[in-house]
Amino acid sequence: MLNTTRSWGAVARVFHWVLGAAIIGMIAYGWWMNNFPARADRFFYRSIHADIGYLVLLFTALRLVWKFFNPTPALPAGAPVWERAFARLNQWSLYVLTFVVVMLGWAHSGAHKPDYADFFGLFRVPQFTVENRQNAGDFEHWHIYAAYVLLALIALHVLGALYHRFIKKDGVLERMVDGRVQ
């Protein structure tokens, strides 16, 4: 369940893979949603996107809390300083940009009329921006641009994992897949 100094625990691995799939799915869904012709049910699709976005924010926060109370496995011995620095920079950039993307989406929700605050019909999510058409458009554009930057960081993250798996063959990817330590 818990992380060790050598491998990721089950909880961290579940957070990683579920959030990874959710974020990539949200980017794909957002692209699809913004590129299909205007339809009467467009608001429904945007509301679902917002609801899942709120969940991504919650689970990203929970993942960071979990990370705070668990050790981060060290990179294999002999990893160059630049590699360690690049890995940490990419990982923290993923966290920060995930928050930025979600918060921009949330800001868009409050500025948009009607807002996307109805969480799966269960309750209303408090909004921290006020209705403003210009701001809604600006928040939406920045949300989309930041999502593309996040997608680029995800691509770098995946390339790094593949580099460790197929070139370095040092077990870094396996630690996140099944917890194995080489």
For residue 41, what pLDDT is reported? Answer: 86
How many Å apart are CA 28 and CA 121, to the nearest integer?
Answer: 24
Average pLDDT score over residue span 101-129: 96
Band the pLDDT of 179: cuts 50, 70, 90: confident
Q: What global pTM score does this model have?
A: 0.94
Can you list the alpha helix ranges (DSSP code H) found in 9-132?
A: 10-35, 42-69, 81-111
